[in-house]
Amino acid sequence: MNDTPVALVTGAAGGVGGAVASRFAAGGWRVIGTDRPGTRADADAWIPADLLDVDQIREMVAQAAATFGRLDCVVNCAGLWTEGPAEDTSEDEWDRVVGVNLKALYFVTSAAIPHLIEASGSVVNISSDAGLQGNAGAAVYSASKGGVSNLTRALALELAPRGVRVNAVCPGDVESPMLLGQARDFGGEDPEGYLRRLLDGYAQKGRARFIRPEEVAEVVWFLAQPEAAAITGANWSIDFGLSAGI
């Protein structure tokens, strides 16, 4: 069997997911990407799946493991943003955001566990600064990412005796299509002003900028490496200090 390690990246058509897939490929890994049907990004193999459908998730993971005969790392990048007053939240909005951000991540990981045990592999989840602290006006998103952060801890403890590590990366605002869509959908008639207001919340003030997808990918890459063998159950902040109490 080819001993080149294999990474499965969800949300691989997105900004962070695409950067993660590229980083693993540059590091010599084989990469399997997945995202919504009708999407595509650079990867050694591509398996579309609707992550709101658990049966499709399980089939996708089974296909991914069979493609190269192994699975060494799962990187859960797929995610959705929403915001607005809690009293205006619809059940459909809750189900969609929590379904992708938390439920899908859980079932992707669950389906991958037997393969990761065989490889002594790892899971890296993309959480958020909102997974470490509440964001006013974004209760649904914060609930989903808070779940990701604590799920990461719970699975790390559960899987440690079987040689599998589980960590999360918690970015702040990432310069990506998701952020631009966020500004478009929730910025009213002034999406540029929406983005400026986000930057105004950073301690860097006039020097503030958004995080680059490649910066997130570099942390994900590190956490998947043997050199990070002592790190499990961690939620790594990459947010210019937003979650440091600023």
Which residue numbers are catalytic? Answer: 141
Strands of the sheet with 6-10, listed across from one edge = 45-46, 30-34, 6-10, 73-76, 122-126, 165-171, 235-238
Distant-in-sequence, close-in-space partners of 190: CB < 8 Å, separation ≥ 6: none
- Going from the C-alpha of 23 to that of each of 2, 9, 121, the distances in angstroms are 20, 11, 17
Residue carrying the six token digits 């589980």:
166
- Alpha carbons 231 and 100: distance in angstroms, whole number: 26
Q: Are 156 and 232 in contact (CB under 8 A)?
A: yes
The distance in angstroms from the start CA to the end CA of the chain is 50
- Alpha carbons 141 and 110: distance in angstroms, whole number: 22
237's enclosing H/E stretch is strand 235-238
Q: Is 89 left (phi over 0), alpha (psi -120 to 50) or beta?
A: beta
